[in-house]
Amino acid sequence: MRILLTNDDGINAEGLAVLERIAAQLSDDVWVCAPEYEQSGASRALTLAEPIRVRKLGERKFATTGTPTDCVMLGVRELMEGGPPDLVLSGVNRGANLAEDVTMSGTVAGAIEAMALGVPGVALSQMGSYDPSDNYFEAAEAFAPGIVKRLVEVGWPADVIMNVNFPALPVDKVGEVEVTRQGFRDVQVRIAEKRTDLRGRDYYWIGFRPERSKPEEGTDLRALYEGRISVTPLHIDLSHMATVYAMKGALGGPPPRL
Protein backbone atom coordinates (compact mmCIF):
# COMPACT_ATOMS: atom_id res chain seq x y z
CA MET A 1 0.00 0.00 0.00
CA ARG A 2 1.33 3.41 -1.03
CA ILE A 3 0.40 6.15 1.42
CA LEU A 4 0.58 9.94 1.03
CA LEU A 5 0.58 12.08 4.17
CA THR A 6 -0.41 15.73 4.51
CA ASN A 7 -1.70 18.10 7.18
CA ASP A 8 -2.68 21.71 7.79
CA ASP A 9 -0.44 22.41 10.80
CA GLY A 10 2.69 22.54 8.67
CA ILE A 11 5.66 20.39 7.76
CA ASN A 12 7.30 20.80 11.18
CA ALA A 13 4.19 20.01 13.22
CA GLU A 14 4.42 17.37 15.93
CA GLY A 15 1.22 15.79 14.65
CA LEU A 16 2.79 15.12 11.25
CA ALA A 17 5.71 13.32 12.89
CA VAL A 18 3.12 11.24 14.77
CA LEU A 19 1.35 10.51 11.48
CA GLU A 20 4.61 9.35 9.93
CA ARG A 21 5.05 6.86 12.76
CA ILE A 22 1.44 5.71 12.35
CA ALA A 23 1.87 5.21 8.60
CA ALA A 24 5.15 3.35 9.09
CA GLN A 25 3.17 0.62 10.88
CA LEU A 26 0.99 0.19 7.79
CA SER A 27 3.44 0.48 4.90
CA ASP A 28 7.06 0.98 3.93
CA ASP A 29 6.03 3.13 0.94
CA VAL A 30 5.10 6.39 2.67
CA TRP A 31 5.32 9.84 1.08
CA VAL A 32 4.83 13.27 2.67
CA CYS A 33 3.68 16.51 1.05
CA ALA A 34 2.66 19.15 3.60
CA PRO A 35 2.43 22.95 3.81
CA GLU A 36 5.59 24.89 4.60
CA TYR A 37 3.59 26.97 7.09
CA GLU A 38 0.48 26.42 9.18
CA GLN A 39 -2.72 26.45 7.11
CA SER A 40 -5.33 25.80 9.80
CA GLY A 41 -8.79 26.87 8.68
CA ALA A 42 -7.78 26.88 5.02
CA SER A 43 -10.60 24.50 4.09
CA ARG A 44 -10.42 23.54 0.39
CA ALA A 45 -8.54 26.67 -0.69
CA LEU A 46 -6.40 26.44 -3.83
CA THR A 47 -3.45 28.73 -4.48
CA LEU A 48 -4.35 30.39 -7.79
CA ALA A 49 -2.89 33.91 -7.70
CA GLU A 50 0.75 33.01 -7.10
CA PRO A 51 3.12 30.12 -7.84
CA ILE A 52 3.58 27.26 -5.41
CA ARG A 53 7.15 26.54 -4.40
CA VAL A 54 8.18 22.99 -3.51
CA ARG A 55 11.07 22.16 -1.19
CA LYS A 56 12.41 18.60 -1.20
CA LEU A 57 13.32 17.46 2.30
CA GLY A 58 14.05 13.80 1.57
CA GLU A 59 13.56 11.07 -0.98
CA ARG A 60 9.82 10.96 -0.29
CA LYS A 61 9.21 14.15 1.68
CA PHE A 62 8.21 17.57 0.37
CA ALA A 63 7.07 20.92 1.76
CA THR A 64 5.13 23.42 -0.33
CA THR A 65 4.04 27.03 0.04
CA GLY A 66 0.49 25.90 -0.78
CA THR A 67 -2.56 24.75 1.11
CA PRO A 68 -3.40 21.17 2.13
CA THR A 69 -5.48 20.84 -1.04
CA ASP A 70 -2.52 22.03 -3.12
CA CYS A 71 -0.27 19.54 -1.35
CA VAL A 72 -2.48 16.55 -2.05
CA MET A 73 -2.98 17.53 -5.69
CA LEU A 74 0.77 18.00 -6.22
CA GLY A 75 1.63 14.86 -4.28
CA VAL A 76 -0.77 12.65 -6.23
CA ARG A 77 -0.23 14.13 -9.68
CA GLU A 78 3.35 15.42 -9.70
CA LEU A 79 5.63 14.41 -6.85
CA MET A 80 5.03 10.73 -6.14
CA GLU A 81 7.19 8.65 -8.43
CA GLY A 82 5.82 5.34 -9.61
CA GLY A 83 2.14 6.20 -9.52
CA PRO A 84 -0.52 7.63 -7.21
CA PRO A 85 -1.10 6.52 -3.63
CA ASP A 86 -3.60 3.92 -2.49
CA LEU A 87 -4.47 6.01 0.56
CA VAL A 88 -4.11 9.60 1.79
CA LEU A 89 -3.88 10.31 5.52
CA SER A 90 -4.30 13.91 6.67
CA GLY A 91 -3.27 15.03 10.16
CA VAL A 92 -2.78 14.29 12.93
CA ASN A 93 -4.37 17.66 13.63
CA ARG A 94 -3.67 19.39 16.92
CA GLY A 95 -7.29 19.85 18.01
CA ALA A 96 -10.47 18.04 17.08
CA ASN A 97 -12.30 18.60 13.80
CA LEU A 98 -15.96 18.12 14.66
CA ALA A 99 -19.47 19.26 13.80
CA GLU A 100 -19.81 22.32 11.53
CA ASP A 101 -16.08 23.06 11.80
CA VAL A 102 -15.29 20.24 9.37
CA THR A 103 -16.23 22.64 6.54
CA MET A 104 -13.36 24.96 7.55
CA SER A 105 -10.76 22.33 8.35
CA GLY A 106 -7.64 22.06 6.22
CA THR A 107 -7.12 18.59 7.67
CA VAL A 108 -10.51 17.42 6.40
CA ALA A 109 -9.87 19.22 3.10
CA GLY A 110 -6.74 17.15 2.53
CA ALA A 111 -8.82 13.99 2.69
CA ILE A 112 -11.52 15.53 0.47
CA GLU A 113 -8.97 16.41 -2.22
CA ALA A 114 -7.77 12.81 -2.15
CA MET A 115 -11.37 11.67 -2.68
CA ALA A 116 -11.75 14.13 -5.57
CA LEU A 117 -8.68 12.55 -7.19
CA GLY A 118 -10.03 9.04 -6.78
CA VAL A 119 -7.95 8.09 -3.73
CA PRO A 120 -9.46 7.05 -0.36
CA GLY A 121 -8.86 9.76 2.24
CA VAL A 122 -8.82 9.70 6.04
CA ALA A 123 -8.59 12.80 8.25
CA LEU A 124 -7.21 12.27 11.75
CA SER A 125 -7.46 14.76 14.61
CA GLN A 126 -6.56 14.70 18.29
CA MET A 127 -8.61 16.61 20.86
CA GLY A 128 -6.43 17.92 23.67
CA SER A 129 -5.87 20.57 26.28
CA TYR A 130 -3.66 23.63 26.00
CA ASP A 131 -1.29 22.31 28.66
CA PRO A 132 2.11 21.92 26.95
CA SER A 133 3.07 19.20 29.44
CA ASP A 134 0.34 16.88 28.12
CA ASN A 135 1.25 13.89 25.99
CA TYR A 136 -0.98 15.43 23.37
CA PHE A 137 -1.07 12.77 20.65
CA GLU A 138 -0.96 9.69 22.89
CA ALA A 139 -4.41 8.35 21.98
CA ALA A 140 -4.04 8.96 18.24
CA GLU A 141 -0.65 7.30 18.06
CA ALA A 142 -1.87 4.28 20.00
CA PHE A 143 -5.13 3.65 18.17
CA ALA A 144 -4.88 5.16 14.69
CA PRO A 145 -2.86 2.32 13.08
CA GLY A 146 -5.45 -0.30 13.98
CA ILE A 147 -8.40 1.91 13.05
CA VAL A 148 -6.95 2.88 9.67
CA LYS A 149 -6.05 -0.73 8.91
CA ARG A 150 -9.60 -1.82 9.70
CA LEU A 151 -11.10 0.98 7.64
CA VAL A 152 -9.02 -0.04 4.63
CA GLU A 153 -10.11 -3.66 5.08
CA VAL A 154 -13.80 -2.71 5.24
CA GLY A 155 -13.64 -0.01 2.55
CA TRP A 156 -16.08 2.82 1.93
CA PRO A 157 -17.80 4.54 -1.04
CA ALA A 158 -15.67 6.50 -3.49
CA ASP A 159 -17.50 9.78 -2.72
CA VAL A 160 -16.94 9.55 1.05
CA ILE A 161 -14.04 10.35 3.37
CA MET A 162 -13.46 9.18 6.92
CA ASN A 163 -13.09 11.79 9.66
CA VAL A 164 -11.49 10.24 12.77
CA ASN A 165 -11.22 12.13 16.07
CA PHE A 166 -9.49 10.93 19.25
CA PRO A 167 -10.50 12.08 22.75
CA ALA A 168 -8.18 13.97 25.08
CA LEU A 169 -7.56 11.03 27.39
CA PRO A 170 -4.72 8.70 28.34
CA VAL A 171 -4.71 5.46 26.38
CA ASP A 172 -6.11 3.40 29.26
CA LYS A 173 -9.06 5.81 29.66
CA VAL A 174 -10.20 5.86 26.01
CA GLY A 175 -13.55 4.19 25.41
CA GLU A 176 -14.81 2.30 22.39
CA VAL A 177 -14.85 3.35 18.74
CA GLU A 178 -18.17 4.84 17.64
CA VAL A 179 -19.28 5.42 14.06
CA THR A 180 -21.02 8.80 14.28
CA ARG A 181 -22.82 11.45 12.29
CA GLN A 182 -21.72 15.06 12.04
CA GLY A 183 -23.04 17.08 14.95
CA PHE A 184 -23.87 20.75 15.32
CA ARG A 185 -23.00 22.95 18.29
CA ASP A 186 -25.78 24.76 20.12
CA VAL A 187 -23.33 27.38 21.40
CA GLN A 188 -21.07 29.72 19.46
CA VAL A 189 -17.43 28.87 20.19
CA ARG A 190 -15.76 31.08 17.55
CA ILE A 191 -14.70 34.49 18.77
CA ALA A 192 -12.99 37.62 17.44
CA GLU A 193 -10.86 39.43 20.03
CA LYS A 194 -10.15 43.08 19.33
CA ARG A 195 -6.72 44.49 20.18
CA THR A 196 -4.76 47.66 19.43
CA ASP A 197 -1.24 47.80 18.05
CA LEU A 198 1.50 50.25 19.07
CA ARG A 199 0.40 52.70 16.39
CA GLY A 200 -3.11 52.84 17.74
CA ARG A 201 -4.69 50.77 14.99
CA ASP A 202 -7.21 48.07 15.78
CA TYR A 203 -6.71 44.44 14.78
CA TYR A 204 -8.41 41.15 15.59
CA TRP A 205 -7.47 37.61 16.63
CA ILE A 206 -9.98 34.99 15.59
CA GLY A 207 -10.07 31.83 17.67
CA PHE A 208 -12.18 29.45 19.74
CA ARG A 209 -13.66 29.64 23.21
CA PRO A 210 -13.29 26.30 25.09
CA GLU A 211 -17.00 25.83 25.75
CA ARG A 212 -18.92 22.59 25.28
CA SER A 213 -22.37 22.30 23.80
CA LYS A 214 -24.99 19.68 24.60
CA PRO A 215 -24.93 17.49 21.49
CA GLU A 216 -27.31 14.70 20.59
CA GLU A 217 -26.43 11.05 20.98
CA GLY A 218 -24.79 9.50 17.94
CA THR A 219 -22.91 12.67 16.99
CA ASP A 220 -19.17 13.18 16.71
CA LEU A 221 -19.30 15.81 19.47
CA ARG A 222 -21.07 13.52 21.94
CA ALA A 223 -18.64 10.67 21.32
CA LEU A 224 -15.59 12.84 22.00
CA TYR A 225 -17.13 14.47 25.05
CA GLU A 226 -17.80 11.02 26.52
CA GLY A 227 -14.30 9.69 25.82
CA ARG A 228 -14.92 7.63 22.69
CA ILE A 229 -13.10 7.63 19.36
CA SER A 230 -15.35 9.09 16.66
CA VAL A 231 -15.31 7.83 13.06
CA THR A 232 -17.58 9.95 10.84
CA PRO A 233 -18.17 9.22 7.15
CA LEU A 234 -18.42 12.58 5.34
CA HIS A 235 -19.17 13.68 1.79
CA ILE A 236 -19.35 17.04 0.04
CA ASP A 237 -22.88 16.92 -1.40
CA LEU A 238 -24.34 19.85 0.52
CA SER A 239 -27.76 19.64 -1.13
CA HIS A 240 -30.65 19.86 1.38
CA MET A 241 -33.03 17.45 -0.31
CA ALA A 242 -36.10 18.25 1.79
CA THR A 243 -35.90 21.86 0.60
CA VAL A 244 -35.15 20.77 -2.97
CA TYR A 245 -38.40 18.80 -3.06
CA ALA A 246 -40.35 21.54 -1.31
CA MET A 247 -39.11 24.24 -3.70
CA LYS A 248 -39.75 22.31 -6.91
CA GLY A 249 -43.47 23.06 -6.81
CA ALA A 250 -42.98 26.74 -5.98
CA LEU A 251 -40.06 27.63 -8.27
CA GLY A 252 -39.87 24.88 -10.88
CA GLY A 253 -40.79 25.64 -14.48
CA PRO A 254 -40.38 28.89 -16.48
CA PRO A 255 -38.34 31.57 -14.67
CA PRO A 256 -40.60 34.14 -12.99
CA ARG A 257 -40.49 37.81 -14.02
CA LEU A 258 -41.46 40.89 -12.02
Residues annotated within a binding site for a divalent metal cation:
8-9, 40, 93
Question: Do the Cβ atoms of 23 and 57 come closer than 8 Å?
Answer: no
How far apart CA 184 and CA 66 sit, in angstroms, is: 30
How far apart CA 125 and CA 121 sit, in angstroms, is: 13
Q: Which phi and psi (to 5°) does residue 234 adopt? A: -125, 155
How far apart CA 39 and CA 37 sit, in angstroms, is: 6
Residues annotated in a binding site: 8-9, 40, 93
